[in-house]
Amino acid sequence: MPGGERDPRSVDYDPAVRALMVQAIRAMRTRHGVVAWIASPRYQFRRKDDGGRTAEERAFTRSAYWAVFGLPKKLGVPQTYSLKLTWGDALQPSSHGRLARPVQVRLYPRQHGYVDHGRRSWMAEKELTGQSTFQRPRTGTIGRPAPPRNIAS
């Protein structure tokens, strides 16, 4: 929206998203997520976006990301969580002739990203090799590395 305003439909989802985030924080302690059902009018399923989401699902997504990323930034507090939304394929009838699709909401502590301790960081790798692309050379068919050569002695 122009001028940094949020769209009205995602603002409508804010109270429900706030309650859902509280549940997701509690579920995060046991490494679980929370499932919510997002209802959309049936006609919206004929006009999905490129990601396969209806207008109601996009509004919910914007509201959820605002609660996790935008609001802390606006308030000037550090971001505490990272958000993952996993949409299901099942559709269930809902009230007023709508169809509802499930979404699993998972929160992760921001500082607990995946780190592979067995490998060097990409910065250290770049300093050692001087290369900024980290792809294996494609020497075999369909990108497979060439088989090792037999060394005759």
Domain limits, the chain? 2-109
Indicate yes or no: pTM above 0.85. Answer: no
Reading the block at residue 65, the tokens are 């990301």
Note the pLDDT tens digit of each residue in 95-141: 888 999 999 999 998 876 555 566 666 667 667 776 665 555 555 55
Phi-psi region of 17 (alpha: psi -120 to 50; beta: other; left: phi over 0): alpha
Note the pLDDT tens digit of each residue in 70-94: 998 889 998 889 999 999 988 989 8
Question: Which secondary structure element, helix H or strand E, spans residue 125, and what is its range?
Answer: helix 122-129
Give the list of residues 6+ apart from residue 103 with CB closer than 8 angstroms, or none: 35, 36, 37, 38, 57, 60, 85, 86, 87, 88
Instruction: Give the class (CATH, top level) of 2-109.
Output: alpha beta
pLDDT at residue number 19? 96
- Nearest by Cα to 81 from 66, 65, 68: 68
Gap between the Cα atoms of 145 and 148, Å rounded: 9
Gap between the Cα atoms of 68 and 92, Å rounded: 27
